[in-house]
């Protein structure tokens, strides 16, 4: 068992357990903090796969921007109380059963999908440094890149419009 495999197992255990804790903890603030740990461990997976730039972007976007947004929303709504009414028991049981069934089906689909070749290809060329990614992003994927900027602009306008306080009607 190589050290990389051990590292992968530890990271996977952290990812899965914090994802479960995100769902099961009663307090939304605790959920958000567990989710931050989950995102950091996924960034660790990216580092393990040697995708450094993606790991950095993941930490900045998810753990930085999105989770801060979540935390601020939770604090603005003053939801850090543990008074949530649970769903009826039959619904929770149904959720559990469907979770188990979906897991079973997907794993059963993919359990025989091991690649036929024993060794994975190694081209040896650099394909995931910032330089290469930037070239691909701004040459081949130029149009989707611009559309992503338009999407972010529209999302920003929509957010401002939605969260603006409505004027009282007279």
Which one among 75, 136, 142, 146 touches other proteins, defined by CB under 8 A? 136
Q: Which is nearer to other proteins, 1 or 170 (CB)?
A: 1
Taking residue 74's Cβ as centre, other Cβ atoms within 10 Å add up to 16
Which one among 22, 40, 59, 63 touches other proteins, defined by CB under 8 A? 22
In angstroms, what is the minimal distance from the CB of 152 to other proteins? 6
The single-letter DSSP state of residue 78 is T
Q: Which is nearer to other proteins, 125 or 169 (CB)?
A: 125
In angstroms, what is the minimal distance from the CB of 170 to other proteins? 19
Q: Which is nearer to other proteins, 124 or 170 (CB)?
A: 124
How far is the C-alpha of 88 from the C-alpha of 9, rounded, in Å? 35
In angstroms, what is the minimal distance from the CB of 150 to other proteins? 10
Phi-psi region of 81 (alpha: psi -120 to 50; beta: other; left: phi over 0): beta
Supply 166's token pair.
């409505």
In angstroms, what is the minimal distance from the CB of 33 to other proteins? 11
Cβ distance 41 to 14 under 8 Å?
yes
How far is the C-alpha of 144 from the C-alpha of 136, rounded, in Å? 12
In sign, the C-alpha dihedral spanning 15, 20, 22, 23 is positive
Q: Which positions from 99 through 128 interact with other proteins, judged by CB under 8 A?
A: 99, 102-103, 106-107, 110-111, 113-115, 119-125, 127-128
Q: Supply the angle between the helices 3-24 and 28-48 in degrees, to the nearest 10.
A: 160
Q: Which positions from 33 through 92 interact with other proteins, judged by CB under 8 A?
A: 35, 38-39, 42, 45-46, 48-51, 53-54, 57-58, 61-62, 65-66, 69-70, 73-74, 76-77, 79, 84-87, 91-92
């Amino acid at each position: 068992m190589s050290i990389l495999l051990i590292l992968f197992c530890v990271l996977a255990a952290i990812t899965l357990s914090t994802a479960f804790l995100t769902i099961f903890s009663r307090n939304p603030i605790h959920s958000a903090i567990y989710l931050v740990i989950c995102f950091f461990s996924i960034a660790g997976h990216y580092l393990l796969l040697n995708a450094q730039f993606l790991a950095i972007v993941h930490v900045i976007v998810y753990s930085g921007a999105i989770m801060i947004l979540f935390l601020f929303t939770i604090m603005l709504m003053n939801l850090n109380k543990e008074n949530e009414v649970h769903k009826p028991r039959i619904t929770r049981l149904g959720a559990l059963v469907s979770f188990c069934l979906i897991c079973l089906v997907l794993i059963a689909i993919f359990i025989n999908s091991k690649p036929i070749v024993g060794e994975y290809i190694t081209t040896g060329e650099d394909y995931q440094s910032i330089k290469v990614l930037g070239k691909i992003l701004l040459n081949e994927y130029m149009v989707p890149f611009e559309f992503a900027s338009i999407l972010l602009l529209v999302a920003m306008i929509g957010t401002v419009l939605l969260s603006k306080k409505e004027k009282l009607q007279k």
